Amino acid sequence: MMYGISGTPGTGKSAIAEELEKRGYRVVHATDTTQEFIIEADNDRDTVIIDEEAWIASFRPVEGFVEAHLAHLLPCDLVIILRCRPDILKSRLVKRGYPWEKIRENVEAEALDVILVETLEIHPPGHILEIETTYDTIPVCVEHIEQFIRREIPSSYGKNDWSDYLEPMT
């Protein structure tokens, strides 16, 4: 079984992947598999643009977890979407030293449920678990993931309404 762990930058994907590895799970960091698919670098946003369709088409399924901002686009058996309240996410991204444009874009995407919506367009509803990482510890989040992949807890998503965190257009 291939499990995707996706979410907006700053929601805890890397930390959760590290904890899963410590617990003996195989984790593939999708960013390690995208190098040959980079179309261009966007220095203003401190990011790269990849050919998502070519990457997805060439990605070989793995037994274990695939962790990345784009993991939800892969043909995963189950998908875990990590979420973080936008104001807390903003402070996490500021601490990382992200450019303001990248912070704004990611906080807005989180408030609008962009990754969850993309996931629902690709994967069956019963195969998705949304975990809010705002206050739970990494071990607690990983426990939820383990329960989900063992099918001890049901699919659950769509409980966060963070539209109040959207900044007014000026």
Q: What angle do CA 142, 110, 14 make, to 5 degrees?
A: 35
- CA 62 to chain centroid: 18
SS3 112: coil
Smallest CA-to-CA distance from 92 within 5, 2, 7 is with: 7
pLDDT tops 80 at residue 170: no
Phi then psi for 97, rounded to 5 degrees?
80, 25
Residue 20 has pLDDT above 80, yes or no: yes
pLDDT at 163: 85
Position 168 confidence tier, pLDDT thresholds 50, 70, 90: low
* Contact criterion met (CB below 8 Å) for 6 and 81: yes
- Strands 27-29 and 38-42 come out as unpaired
Provide the pLDDT for residue 49.
Answer: 84
Full-model pTM: 0.92
The residue ranges of every structural domain in the chain are: 2-160
Give me the pLDDT at residue 38, please.
Answer: 86
**pLDDT by residue (tens digit) across 29-62?**
988 888 888 888 777 766 778 899 999 999 999 9
CATH number, span 2-160: 3.40.50.300
pLDDT, tens only, 111-156: 999 999 999 999 998 999 999 999 999 999 999 999 999 999 999 9
Whether residue 169 is predicted with pLDDT greater than 70 in this model: the reply is no
pLDDT, one tens digit per residue, over 53-87 is 999 999 999 999 999 999 999 999 999 999 999 99
Whole-angstrom distance, CA of residue 127 vs CA of residue 120: 9
- Alpha-carbon distance of 106 to 34, in angstroms, equals 20
